[in-house]
Chains A and B, each alone.
Chain A
Protein backbone atom coordinates (compact mmCIF):
# COMPACT_ATOMS: atom_id res chain seq x y z
CA UNK A 1 0.00 0.00 0.00
CA UNK A 2 1.42 3.36 -1.04
CA UNK A 3 1.18 5.97 1.70
CA UNK A 4 1.11 9.74 1.37
CA UNK A 5 1.38 11.71 4.60
CA UNK A 6 0.81 15.40 5.15
CA UNK A 7 1.82 17.39 8.19
CA UNK A 8 0.66 19.15 10.16
CA UNK A 9 -2.99 18.12 9.99
CA UNK A 10 -4.09 21.67 10.80
CA UNK A 11 -2.48 25.03 11.28
CA UNK A 12 -3.66 28.37 12.68
CA UNK A 13 -1.62 31.47 11.81
CA UNK A 14 -2.05 35.22 11.99
CA UNK A 15 -2.47 37.34 8.90
CA UNK A 16 0.97 38.24 7.59
CA UNK A 17 2.71 35.14 8.94
CA UNK A 18 4.58 32.91 6.56
CA UNK A 19 3.98 29.21 6.86
CA UNK A 20 4.89 25.90 5.32
CA UNK A 21 3.72 22.31 5.37
CA UNK A 22 4.97 18.97 4.21
CA UNK A 23 3.89 16.13 1.95
CA UNK A 24 5.78 12.83 2.28
CA UNK A 25 5.51 10.12 -0.38
CA UNK A 26 7.33 6.97 -1.50
CA UNK A 27 10.79 7.79 -2.85
CA UNK A 28 10.78 5.06 -5.50
CA UNK A 29 8.94 4.93 -8.83
CA UNK A 30 8.05 8.60 -8.73
CA UNK A 31 6.00 9.98 -11.64
CA UNK A 32 4.48 13.24 -10.42
CA UNK A 33 3.20 15.13 -7.41
CA UNK A 34 0.20 17.43 -7.44
CA UNK A 35 -0.81 20.13 -4.97
CA UNK A 36 -4.46 21.20 -4.69
CA UNK A 37 -6.20 23.91 -2.68
CA UNK A 38 -9.71 23.18 -1.38
CA UNK A 39 -11.62 26.15 -0.07
CA UNK A 40 -14.81 25.67 1.94
CA UNK A 41 -17.90 25.30 -0.25
CA UNK A 42 -15.78 25.10 -3.40
CA UNK A 43 -14.18 22.33 -5.45
CA UNK A 44 -10.49 21.49 -5.08
CA UNK A 45 -8.32 23.36 -7.59
CA UNK A 46 -4.86 22.48 -8.79
CA UNK A 47 -1.97 24.63 -7.61
CA UNK A 48 1.05 22.81 -8.97
CA UNK A 49 2.06 19.72 -10.93
CA UNK A 50 5.63 18.80 -10.05
CA UNK A 51 7.69 16.23 -11.88
CA UNK A 52 11.45 16.75 -11.55
CA UNK A 53 13.66 16.42 -8.50
CA UNK A 54 14.59 19.90 -7.36
CA UNK A 55 11.54 21.49 -9.03
CA UNK A 56 10.43 24.78 -7.56
CA UNK A 57 7.10 26.28 -8.62
CA UNK A 58 5.53 29.57 -7.65
CA UNK A 59 2.08 31.13 -7.96
CA UNK A 60 1.82 34.51 -6.30
CA UNK A 61 2.66 34.10 -2.63
CA UNK A 62 2.52 30.32 -2.77
CA UNK A 63 5.49 28.20 -3.78
CA UNK A 64 6.42 24.52 -3.65
CA UNK A 65 9.60 22.48 -3.77
CA UNK A 66 10.14 18.84 -4.61
CA UNK A 67 12.68 16.26 -3.45
CA UNK A 68 11.96 12.93 -5.15
CA UNK A 69 15.07 11.20 -3.81
CA UNK A 70 13.99 11.57 -0.20
CA UNK A 71 10.25 11.61 -0.91
CA UNK A 72 8.96 14.99 0.23
CA UNK A 73 7.51 18.24 -1.03
CA UNK A 74 7.10 21.50 0.85
CA UNK A 75 4.38 24.08 0.24
CA UNK A 76 5.19 27.62 1.39
CA UNK A 77 2.83 30.54 1.82
CA UNK A 78 4.45 33.92 2.27
CA UNK A 79 2.54 36.61 4.16
CA UNK A 80 -0.62 34.55 4.72
CA UNK A 81 -3.95 36.25 4.07
CA UNK A 82 -7.43 35.22 5.30
CA UNK A 83 -8.27 34.15 1.73
CA UNK A 84 -5.50 31.54 1.96
CA UNK A 85 -7.62 29.66 4.50
CA UNK A 86 -8.28 26.28 2.93
CA UNK A 87 -7.30 22.63 3.00
CA UNK A 88 -4.17 21.91 0.98
CA UNK A 89 -3.95 18.43 -0.53
CA UNK A 90 -1.03 16.70 -2.15
CA UNK A 91 -1.39 13.73 -4.48
CA UNK A 92 1.33 11.28 -5.50
CA UNK A 93 1.40 9.45 -8.82
CA UNK A 94 3.39 6.20 -9.06
CA UNK A 95 5.09 5.43 -12.34
CA UNK A 96 3.57 1.93 -12.31
CA UNK A 97 0.03 3.33 -12.49
CA UNK A 98 -0.11 6.87 -13.81
CA UNK A 99 -3.90 6.79 -13.92
CA UNK A 100 -4.26 6.85 -10.16
CA UNK A 101 -3.63 9.74 -7.76
CA UNK A 102 -2.95 8.88 -4.14
CA UNK A 103 -4.01 11.74 -1.90
CA UNK A 104 -2.71 12.71 1.50
CA UNK A 105 -5.16 13.63 4.24
CA UNK A 106 -4.56 17.33 3.75
CA UNK A 107 -3.38 20.25 5.86
CA UNK A 108 -6.12 22.66 6.91
CA UNK A 109 -4.88 26.22 7.21
CA UNK A 110 -6.79 28.90 9.09
CA UNK A 111 -5.50 32.47 8.75
CA UNK A 112 -6.82 34.88 11.39
CA UNK A 113 -7.16 38.56 10.45
Chain B
Protein backbone atom coordinates (compact mmCIF):
# COMPACT_ATOMS: atom_id res chain seq x y z
CA UNK B 1 0.00 0.00 0.00
CA UNK B 2 1.29 3.44 -0.90
CA UNK B 3 1.24 6.07 1.75
CA UNK B 4 3.00 8.18 4.33
CA UNK B 5 4.27 6.86 7.61
CA UNK B 6 5.21 8.90 10.64
CA UNK B 7 6.79 7.47 13.71
CA UNK B 8 6.34 7.34 16.55
CA UNK B 9 2.68 8.19 17.13
CA UNK B 10 3.44 9.64 20.58
CA UNK B 11 6.77 11.10 21.68
CA UNK B 12 7.79 12.42 25.07
CA UNK B 13 10.92 14.46 25.68
CA UNK B 14 12.49 16.54 28.38
CA UNK B 15 12.92 20.23 27.85
CA UNK B 16 16.33 21.08 26.36
CA UNK B 17 16.61 17.91 24.27
CA UNK B 18 16.49 17.85 20.49
CA UNK B 19 14.10 15.33 18.98
CA UNK B 20 13.69 14.07 15.41
CA UNK B 21 10.33 13.13 13.93
CA UNK B 22 10.33 10.65 11.09
CA UNK B 23 8.37 10.95 7.85
CA UNK B 24 8.60 8.44 5.00
CA UNK B 25 6.56 8.20 1.80
CA UNK B 26 6.46 5.54 -0.90
CA UNK B 27 4.24 7.50 -3.27
CA UNK B 28 7.18 8.72 -5.37
CA UNK B 29 6.15 12.29 -4.64
CA UNK B 30 8.56 15.15 -5.21
CA UNK B 31 7.18 17.56 -2.61
CA UNK B 32 7.00 17.01 1.14
CA UNK B 33 5.71 19.20 3.97
CA UNK B 34 5.72 19.53 7.75
CA UNK B 35 2.81 21.16 9.57
CA UNK B 36 2.10 21.84 13.20
CA UNK B 37 -1.34 21.91 14.73
CA UNK B 38 -2.18 23.46 18.10
CA UNK B 39 -5.61 23.35 19.78
CA UNK B 40 -8.02 25.78 18.14
CA UNK B 41 -5.63 26.55 15.30
CA UNK B 42 -5.34 25.40 11.73
CA UNK B 43 -2.34 23.75 10.11
CA UNK B 44 0.74 25.94 10.16
CA UNK B 45 3.56 25.24 7.74
CA UNK B 46 6.98 24.64 9.30
CA UNK B 47 9.14 23.59 6.34
CA UNK B 48 8.57 22.21 2.88
CA UNK B 49 10.68 20.58 0.22
CA UNK B 50 9.85 20.75 -3.46
CA UNK B 51 12.56 18.35 -4.54
CA UNK B 52 15.39 16.26 -3.11
CA UNK B 53 18.24 18.26 -1.55
CA UNK B 54 16.11 21.40 -1.42
CA UNK B 55 13.85 22.80 1.30
CA UNK B 56 12.30 26.11 2.25
CA UNK B 57 11.13 27.69 5.46
CA UNK B 58 7.43 27.90 6.06
CA UNK B 59 5.64 30.33 8.32
CA UNK B 60 6.96 29.04 11.67
CA UNK B 61 10.41 27.59 10.97
CA UNK B 62 12.20 29.01 14.01
CA UNK B 63 13.49 26.27 16.30
CA UNK B 64 13.10 23.54 13.66
CA UNK B 65 15.41 21.98 11.09
CA UNK B 66 14.92 19.50 8.24
CA UNK B 67 16.86 17.54 5.67
CA UNK B 68 15.87 16.00 2.35
CA UNK B 69 18.66 13.67 1.35
CA UNK B 70 16.33 11.06 -0.12
CA UNK B 71 13.13 11.50 -2.09
CA UNK B 72 11.14 9.31 0.27
CA UNK B 73 12.30 10.80 3.58
CA UNK B 74 11.85 14.23 5.18
CA UNK B 75 12.76 14.14 8.90
CA UNK B 76 12.00 17.10 11.15
CA UNK B 77 14.20 17.98 14.11
CA UNK B 78 12.64 19.97 16.91
CA UNK B 79 15.52 21.74 18.59
CA UNK B 80 15.81 23.08 22.10
CA UNK B 81 15.45 26.57 20.60
CA UNK B 82 11.77 25.92 19.83
CA UNK B 83 9.95 27.68 22.66
CA UNK B 84 6.67 25.76 22.59
CA UNK B 85 7.40 22.37 21.02
CA UNK B 86 4.43 20.47 22.47
CA UNK B 87 2.04 20.03 19.55
CA UNK B 88 0.66 17.63 16.96
CA UNK B 89 2.94 17.34 13.90
CA UNK B 90 1.67 16.27 10.48
CA UNK B 91 3.78 15.33 7.50
CA UNK B 92 2.36 15.51 3.97
CA UNK B 93 3.46 14.92 0.40
CA UNK B 94 2.32 16.01 -3.01
CA UNK B 95 3.13 14.66 -6.48
CA UNK B 96 4.92 17.87 -7.45
CA UNK B 97 5.00 21.38 -6.03
CA UNK B 98 3.73 22.93 -9.25
CA UNK B 99 0.84 20.78 -10.45
CA UNK B 100 -2.74 20.70 -9.26
CA UNK B 101 -2.44 17.53 -7.21
CA UNK B 102 -3.73 17.25 -3.67
CA UNK B 103 -1.68 16.61 -0.56
CA UNK B 104 -1.55 13.26 1.16
CA UNK B 105 -1.07 13.26 4.91
CA UNK B 106 0.56 10.92 7.38
CA UNK B 107 -1.07 9.89 10.67
CA UNK B 108 0.81 12.49 12.72
CA UNK B 109 3.09 12.50 15.75
CA UNK B 110 2.02 14.03 19.05
CA UNK B 111 5.05 15.48 20.79
CA UNK B 112 4.97 16.34 24.47
CA UNK B 113 7.90 18.18 26.01
CA UNK B 114 8.02 18.57 29.78
**Contacts from A to B (Cβ < 8 Å):** 6, 32, 34, 36, 42-46, 49, 51, 89, 91, 98-106
Contacts and interface: CB of A to CB of B under 8 A. Distances in A.
Given A99-B50, A103-B42, A32 B100 contact: yes
A46 B103 contact: yes
B31 A105 contact: no
Q: Which of B41, B90, B105, B106: most chain A CB closer than 10 A? A: B105
B103 A106 contact: no
A99 B43 contact: no
Interface of B: 4, 31, 33, 35, 40-45, 48, 50, 56, 58, 90, 97-98, 100-108
Given A89-B42, A103-B43, A49 B101 contact: yes
Contacts of A51: 100
A contact face: mostly helix, strand, loop, or mixed: strand
A46 B100 contact: no
Contacts of A99: 31, 48, 50, 56, 97-98
A104 B103 contact: no
Contact of B42 (A43, A100, A105): A105
Given A45-B105, A91-B103, A101-B33, 13 more contacts: A34-B103, A43-B108, A44-B105, A46-B102, A49-B100, A51-B100, A99-B31, A99-B48, A101-B103, A102-B45, A103-B43, A105-B40, A105-B42
23 contacts: A6-B42, A34-B102, A36-B102, A42-B107, A43-B4, A43-B90, A43-B104, A43-B105, A43-B106, A44-B90, A44-B105, A46-B102, A46-B103, A49-B100, A89-B42, A89-B43, A98-B98, A99-B50, A100-B45, A100-B48, A103-B35, A105-B42, A106-B42
Contacts of A100: 45, 48, 58
B56 A49 contact: no
Given A89-B43, A99-B48, A100-B45, A49 B90 contact: no
A89 B56 CA distance: 23
